[in-house]
Structure 1
């Protein structure tokens, strides 16, 4: 019988003005603000290119100026005839969208009989669709509900709302509260700033693998695909394409598959995920009945599995193997919905929104979700509980300060090597880091690493591991955006 751990097995973090700055040979390193930029510190050699990134209130802009020139703005509009416009829609988007466009034209332009027929067909389809959504219990939400789904602590006040590392190079994208995206890279002299009128409530970003300059951003009205010019004084040359589908907004998750040829987006207002053909700006819905809208999705490391979390207890694991038609297994969590999930080596980790939830591990081989079945070390066909995530408080003997870790999980990330796992909680100023070991039978062992604390009054807003590490001794490096706007690079080093 596997023993379920708890967060109480962590060592109490240091108190006072010192923050956790590194984990070296399994020992947490602390320092205060005056020591943070001291080049003699042991950890600074690993993060020299990144340690000074900060987003301040002065950098945030007003919404009125949050716009950049898109590709369509560079050309004057041309008025096509109604027939030519409908033929173009039929060729690009199919019969249904052509009928919808026809119903919106003036009857005289398309013929009264054709306009009447198109209007009746679209009205009937909309009525049937509304009844189906009502049967599924799909509740319509707007962009004001994004904070309940976003993997960000204190969404409304956070200076940095989400971040994304490029999978193949040292390139970091930060989405800030002013609806701008800023790109940082050691090889860049300045900061590329991306602005667009549709770029609002960005809560997820994904760099396209095998393409160094393409970034997808989940926005309140659709998906923005940025092509970014990273040279000096070239921000105005960056341009974006807006992908949108009816009833697919706000978009709360975007993710490229590891091969970089498929982009999946999710919306809590849509029970279908959309698989986008970015080149043609068209999307194919992946629809399954039950579970309501989709909050987020995650690809496995090799792209043969796709995890989709609904707004209810239901979640699905899609088999996307090459040569086979896509199929999905429907599972559910005991309470709430899936709050966070991530893939590692042949393993899926996930947890629910329940405050006393556990972190589960699923081996990606003939899996059956059954938490009531007794777990043995030889059984990898069930979801195995690894950690009890109930709240734990730590106090210091010298004072009455108390710090809490645990409860509902907002986000978690597994580093690309499968060696370390980071967990961000909804109501905790600490980030929990575990050392992970995946056995030959695909069972995952977790060893408490350390609790990362910031400077006084700082709370962690969002996090992600670097996807590309150059150092031989640095096993992983975790990026944490703190409420002060400080972007911390937290190196994890072994064997020095």
Structure 2
């Protein structure tokens, strides 16, 4: 099994900028510019969300001291508290004996514990996701806002903000749609409709659908089906997995014993398989045609992060305790099989990520988050205790392997918070990193034989996108 000694780190005072034809390039951080090596990301939005750009999170109590108390009916009090603070606020106000039961639903510490983002409760950026078809990036921040950035310098940056959207945990663009973004948060899901042609900087909540179930909280992971017709959500304190018909606000459920809640869901790119994991030892791989599942168990802890290959036949995962990256091979639509040549009954340890010191740089440890690029050639790994992001090459022949490629280091005092790959990048792959400072970095992985066609393809894709109307996509 390979280990982190295969990696090389940039020279002292330098930061990683890109990888071209398998070679990492870095520059001194004082004048670092990725455009010195490649122009593949020069039109991407420049994003640095500093603390002074954040909106204060309101508790709703700030102005109450200015008013004299009045007699208000119980029903009116109940309605007002529910509108401002939700069901948890009602419980705290009128049924304090039930506070302990609901405290676990509303506690940010629980979300911080199971989140894919490192330092979820402290860092500026909580999650990022790219639009499937155009260079448009949604960024969720610690002030419970979602900002949508595009490469057009003259475009408006929509701000998705509402009182109901508290403690954002995850965001996901809807496939086969050019306008819809699902935002998972403490109390449920909000599916925003963001018109790219609108001049409104802050869309109203009337442009959104609110999806909530009382016991399904806090929502910590969501996934659209590749066709965009189903949305699946899991909650840290609910062992029921909900499958949403968004337009009708109806759900069907997948429920299996094992753990008091679920913390991660990943739909395979082909749409045939679904990965879910509990907050205990168990995780499952579902066949989405029959909704049968295979149950797996880790030896200790729980699965922290996982991702699918682009073909849907390989599942990579890591636990919250072991610094090991595992792989599961799915062949012939089966995981377990009596035929040892076509299936395996155990996960394959692929890479030992035990924390080490490489030329004065600490790297590795237990995994926080891992993502594979849409072409299935690269894996990016963010660690719980160290700042670098590790990028691997995924090799499937003659056997599944992870080959060390490059380490992405940030500016001094920066720590990596969250990662995501650009969904449409013709020149190869492009890793996007949200740093603790609020800076967004693009780390292109370029193959020059592909890059020559990328500009013309991006132009045609953008033209095709702009010609679509909303009615051209699934509602």
Alignment of structure 1 residues 225-374 onto 2, 5 Å: 225-231=191-197, 233-238=199-204, 239-321=207-289, 325-344=290-309, 345=311, 346-365=313-332, 366-368=334-336
Matched, 1:431 2:389: yes
Cα distance in 1 for residues equivalent to 2:25 and 2:259: 44
- The CA deviation at 1:359 is 2.7
Alignment of structure 1 residues 210-229 onto 2, 5 Å: 210-229=176-195
Cα distance in 1 for residues equivalent to 2:168 and 2:130: 15
Partner of 1:59: 53
Cα distance in 1 for residues equivalent to 2:274 and 2:134: 24
Cα distance in 2 for residues equivalent to 1:14 and 1:355: 29
Which of 356, 369, 376 is the aligned partner of 1:418? 376
Partner of 1:151: 116
Q: Could you say what secondary structure the match of 1:354 adopts?
A: coil
Pick closer, same or farther for the CA change 1:379–1:227 going to 2, 3 Å. closer
1:51 touches 1:489 (CA, 8 Å); kept in 2?
Answer: no
Pick closer, same or farther for the CA change 1:143–1:213 going to 2, 3 Å. farther
Partner of 1:373: none
- The CA deviation at 1:51 is 5.7
Partner of 1:459: 415
Partner of 2:24: 28
Partner of 1:445: 401
TM-score of the superposition, structure 2-length normalised? 0.80
Partner of 2:37: 42
Alignment of structure 1 residues 162-241 onto 2, 5 Å: 162-187=127-152, 189-231=155-197, 233-238=199-204, 239-241=207-209
2:45 touches 2:149 (CA, 8 Å); kept in 1?
Answer: no
- The CA deviation at 1:476 is 0.2
1:248 touches 1:266 (CA, 8 Å); kept in 2?
Answer: yes
Residue by residue over 1:135-164, the C-alpha shift from the partner in whole angstroms, topping out at 9 and shown as x without a partner, is xxx994433210001111111221110011
Q: Could you say what secondary structure the match of 2:219 adopts?
A: coil
Cα distance in 2 for residues equivalent to 1:177 and 1:36: 27
Q: Could you say what secondary structure the match of 1:271 adopts?
A: strand
Q: Could you say what secondary structure the match of 2:328 adopts?
A: strand
Cα distance in 2 for residues equivalent to 1:222 and 1:411: 22
Q: Could you say what secondary structure the match of 1:279 adopts?
A: helix
Pick closer, same or farther for the CA change 1:51–1:173 going to 2, 3 Å. closer
1:139 touches 1:269 (CA, 8 Å); kept in 2?
Answer: no
Figure out how many residues of one structure are paired with residues of the other and give that number. 402
- The CA deviation at 1:367 is 1.8
Partner of 2:357: 393
Cα distance in 2 for residues equivalent to 1:279 and 1:334: 40
2:282 touches 2:298 (CA, 8 Å); kept in 1?
Answer: yes
Pick closer, same or farther for the CA change 1:453–1:377 going to 2, 3 Å. farther
Q: Which has the larger radius of gyration?
A: 1
Pick closer, same or farther for the CA change 1:284–1:233 going to 2, 3 Å. same
Residue by residue over 1:275-308, the C-alpha shift from the partner in whole angstroms, topping out at 9 and shown as x without a partner, is 0111111221211122321001000011110000
Q: Could you say what secondary structure the match of 1:432 adopts?
A: strand
Cα distance in 1 for residues equivalent to 2:166 and 2:145: 8
Partner of 1:13: 10
TM-score of the superposition, structure 1-length normalised? 0.76
1:362 touches 1:382 (CA, 8 Å); kept in 2?
Answer: no
Is there any run of 5+ residues in structure 2 with no aligned partner, and where?
A: 61-97, 450-475
1:433 touches 1:451 (CA, 8 Å); kept in 2?
Answer: yes
